[in-house]
Amino acid sequence: MKTEYKFTSILLVLLLLSSSITKAYNVSEDPEKDRLIIYVLKNILTRGHFVEKDMNDSFSEHVFNGFINGLDPSKRYFTKKDIKEFAEFKYLIDNQLLKHDISFYNLVYNRFLQKTKNAKSYYGELLQSPFDYKKIETIDIDYDSVDFARDENQLISYWRKQLKLNIISRIQDKIEKEEEKAKNDPKFKKRSFKKLEREARAEVLKSMDELYIRISELEHEDWFSTFLNSVVSAFDPHTTYMAPRIKEKFDQDMSGKLEGIGARLEKKGIYTSVVELISGGPAWKQGQLEAGDIILDVAQGNQTPLDIVGMRLDDAIKFIKGKKGTEVRLTVKKKLDGSTKVISIIRDVVELEETFVKSSIVEKKNRKFAVINLPKFYINFDDKNYRDSAKDMEQEIERLKKEGVTGLVIDLRNNGGGSLKTAIEISGLFIDKGPIVQVKFRGEKPIVKNDEDPKVQWDGAVVVLVNEFSASASEIFAAAMQDYKRAVIIGGKQTYGKGTVQNILPINQFYPKYDKDLGYLKMTIQKFYRVNGGSTQIEGVYSDIALPTKYSYMKFGERNLNGALEWDKVPNAKYNETNSYSNFRDVIYSTKERIAKDPKFQLINEYAKWLKENQENSSFPLNFEDFANKNKTREKDAKKFSDVFEYNSNLTFISPKHEIPLIKNDQSLSDKRLAWHKDLSKDLYVSEALNVLSQLKLKTEAPSKF
């Protein structure tokens, strides 16, 4: 528990700091392109967005605040003097954009360039010597409630406090580790506070230097995108501008595939390092490249090698990736012996296994059930013949039927959505043909989207497991199953609440004469509604059986996003409930009663309240003794929750038969499945879903004999 508390608070600080960084030395090389993007975006949004929005003073204020906060969310660069100067444009940005004028952007961004040049000297000088750890002072990391600094002196004070908090947390962690070692080894000699402080300060300096290496890699395009997103987000929070390389990553995420060598890479200092080989990928099959190897040069076949040392990671990846069947030659420094070696790899299609449907079989009460994990409603927009979540789900269910499975738990926890098309098709696997969802364009009547296939792929019992991060397409599926009374929805109180549909538009199609890639607009064009007429926007899907989770009282979800569209309702579609179960209401009622009395869930509910209290407390003491005492108090309070999620169902989960040969030939896949099955056996929420599943009785089942 103590680890979760400390790392959550410090990670928040670092994320806020790193998210405020931009390239401090690179201005636009093509201002005409910038103005053209503004021109096209303005026309697309005003004509095609679901919301009809005037570009007025309110719009201007949103862009003003959004761009400044996007560049400097932790208030480490701008002062009140800067903000006062920027405020001249606060209600003029709308007029500027109508004239394709980006003067506000240029003013703020150029000032930002000046400010970021000072940052390295700030932290460099501050970290040269120890802080005063006896001084009584505090820091508030809720930067929304913190004013911009009065002047440069207060700005440096902000930096000092931020760095001091980071160091204090590290020292405290080191002291605890030393005390633990001393308990286990009487001969262990603990180091002094002075030595631990010096070590912690050096670590912070190193992390800051590495951060500013990443800063230097960012380009004008990255931060002009920040400005563009402050513009388009005025329409709604899910309308975003995507620069070309962001769109490429989006496509990869949606399809679960890429073409390349099949390796995850990261930047370590000036080097590109291999983090992991993707199981079944070209590099994995070739066998010479290993995690920890450093890539020095990249050659396309027999061409001259290109030195990628010091190159930004995104650019290095561009040279390493490539079309299926092409050769790439990597000059690498081997992790094990430091030798240099040239490795030839033939690129291929790489499937990101963790994106796809997977299932596990378990026996309970002498019946076979399966848990199907659907992490995303994935699809490949460019290749209709490539696998997608609907095809994979249909195939997975067919295989499970052949193994005698009689009930399914569909796990949609943390599934943020994806393809509307596949959500409709997957819903259709569980019902006869009929409406699944309604979609509505601006100012038009709703359109009913139907499952046209009368085939029912699965007519057995179904439980859908959700949490507060189940969103969008997940909510379409869960809502359809709930409205048809085809499944019991169990999990967090309500899902995320994203009831809007986005379309991705290449900006160049609106200005075909321009030969440079202008990027893409992901724009909200529709809202979707349940077949019962209600929107999932804001409200999400309320679980039939709500289980306490650690997120129960946290602020997040669509309802906490600025500018989120409102909940509303349309007439219901014509549909017939399946009424598949003879004891549907009884199972829900009895489970709710049992959950309310369950000590384990009562403790989780207390834990959720405790987390909420800590989330709201954003102030930290910077006197070391006070910090340590506060930390010890938190840890003492947390002890009652130390085993809050410890659980063992004593159930055995196994892979379906079709996976056995794959596991035998792939140790990495085998290890991943073993870990997943172990997690399932210790997952309280999966256990509850299986409890409900085991109690559901289909109307078609023969009555029990006594």
* pLDDT(233) > 50: yes
Task: Provide mean pLDDT across the span 415-442.
Answer: 95
Query: If residue 685 lies in a helix (H) or strand (E), which one and from where to where?
Result: helix 684-695
124/237 Cα distance (integer angstroms): 37
623/374 Cα distance (integer angstroms): 47
How, if at all, do strands 520-529 and 434-441 pair? antiparallel
Residue type at position 141 = I
Q: Which of 107-116, 176-185, 332-341, 384-393 has the lowest mean pLDDT?
A: 332-341
Residue 254: the pLDDT is 65
443-454: pLDDT as tens digits: 999 999 999 989
217 pLDDT tier (thresholds 50, 70, 90):
confident
Task: Provide mean pLDDT across the span 195-200.
Answer: 95
State in words which class domain 257-351 has: mainly beta
Q: 459: which 2 tokens?
A: 């007519």
678 versus 25: the higher-pLDDT residue is: 678
Residue 269: the pLDDT is 66
* pLDDT(642) > 60: yes
5 pLDDT tier (thresholds 50, 70, 90):
very low
Q: Which residues of 208-240 are buried (b: 16+ CB within 10 A; e: fewer)?
A: beebbeebebbbbbbbbbbbbbbbbbbbbbbbb
Q: 279: which 2 tokens?
A: 């199981």
494 pLDDT tier (thresholds 50, 70, 90):
very high
**Residue range 353-585+648-695, CATH number:** 3.90.226.10
* pLDDT(20) > 90: no
How, if at all, do strands 294-300 and 348-351 pair? unpaired
Which residues in the chain are classed under CATH 3.90.226.10? 353-585+648-695
Residue 210: the pLDDT is 80
663/672 Cα distance (integer angstroms): 10
372/676 Cα distance (integer angstroms): 12
* pLDDT(281) > 50: yes
Residue 684: the pLDDT is 97
Q: Identify the DSSP state of 288.
A: -
Would residue 269 be called left, alpha or beta, if left means φ above 0 and alpha means ψ between -120 and 50 degrees? Answer: left
108 versus 639: the higher-pLDDT residue is: 108
Task: Provide mean pLDDT across the span 525-541.
Answer: 96
**What is the distance in angstroms between the CA of the first residue and the CA of the last residue of the chain?**
49
8 versus 140: the higher-pLDDT residue is: 140
Residue 256: the pLDDT is 66
Which residues in the chain are classed under CATH 2.30.42.10? 257-351
Q: 32: which 2 tokens?
A: 């005409």
Note the pTM of the prediction, 2 decimals: 0.84
φ and ψ of 615, to 5 deg: -65, -35
495/230 Cα distance (integer angstroms): 26
What does the mean pLDDT of the chain come to?
Answer: 88
Residue 307: the pLDDT is 85
Residue 701: the pLDDT is 58
Residue 2: the pLDDT is 39
CB atoms within 10 A of CB 266: 11
* pLDDT(685) > 80: yes
390/427 Cα distance (integer angstroms): 9
554-570: pLDDT as tens digits: 888 999 998 999 999 99
Q: Is the distance from CB of 431 to CB of 376 less than 8 angstroms?
A: no
329-347: pLDDT as tens digits: 999 988 877 778 899 999 9
Q: Is the distance from CB of 345 to CB of 334 less than 8 angstroms?
A: no
